[in-house]
Amino acid sequence: MKFMDRKEFLYNPEVFTIADTQTALKIHSEYIRKHSQIPFPRFFEVDRRIEKIDTLWHQPLDDRTVFSRVIDMPALVQKERPDWRMTRVGLVPQQKNKFWVGNLLLQEFDYFPQRGDNLYHDGYRHMIVNVVLEPQGYWQQTNVWLGLICETIIPADGDARPVINPGNAVTSERLQVMPEPEI
């Protein structure tokens, strides 16, 4: 999604012209750019022009996920301890991470993360579950947010979308058996 398409996250443009606000946004973006891991996390924007979209996870229902853009953008990573759950498959960790992205960086890349977009970092594919504005992320009393948090999970191996029954392979991952030729 383009940055300006999310109207609920926009603020009064007159506040942006104040020198203190500009300075705060620049300092925050420089902080994130300087302390982000290299290589930067890679954001995959899911192409939502497809008609068949899952309303809960905002993922395409086709066999393959189509991405409209791939963006290498600086972000600070806050990793949390995995939450181990017993499932039918066995003991499975649910790893949750938070990626902190700056306001000016999002404007620079003209991108606004959404639930269902993917992210690649440290060899793992993440799926954005929630996009949150932290209460401490606002600049003083101005309603100008400095950055936002992308809450992500690492989906189960083999499929970027949640599977109803992880014990059964999804259709695209099942073995294709060729019929034997007649002699």
Give the pLDDT confidence score for residue 6 in this predicted structure: 64
Report helix, strand or coil for 129.
strand
- Cα separation, 164 vs 63, whole angstroms: 16
Give the pLDDT mean for 158-180: 51
Q: Is 147 in contact with 32 (CB distance < 8 Å)? A: yes
Q: How confident is the model at residue 72 (pLDDT cuts 50, 70, 90)?
A: very high
Give the pLDDT confidence score for residue 163 in this predicted structure: 46
Tens digit of each residue's pLDDT (9 = 90 or more) over 43-54: 988 877 766 666
Q: How confident is the model at residue 151 (pLDDT cuts 50, 70, 90)?
A: very high
Q: How confident is the model at residue 67 (pLDDT cuts 50, 70, 90)?
A: confident
Residue 19 has pLDDT above 50, yes or no: yes
Tens digit of each residue's pLDDT (9 = 90 or more) over 98-138: 999 988 898 889 898 988 888 888 888 888 998 888 888 77
Give the pLDDT confidence score for residue 160 in this predicted structure: 45
Q: Is 128 in contact with 113 (CB distance < 8 Å)? A: yes
| Phi-psi domain of 94 (left: phi exceeds 0; alpha: psi -120 through 50; beta: other) | beta
Whether the ω angle into residue 39 lies within 30 degrees of 0, i.e. cis, is: yes
Report helix, strand or coil for 171.
helix
Q: Is 31 in contact with 146 (CB distance < 8 Å)? A: no
Domain residue spans in the chain? 3-156
Give the pLDDT confidence score for residue 122 in this predicted structure: 84
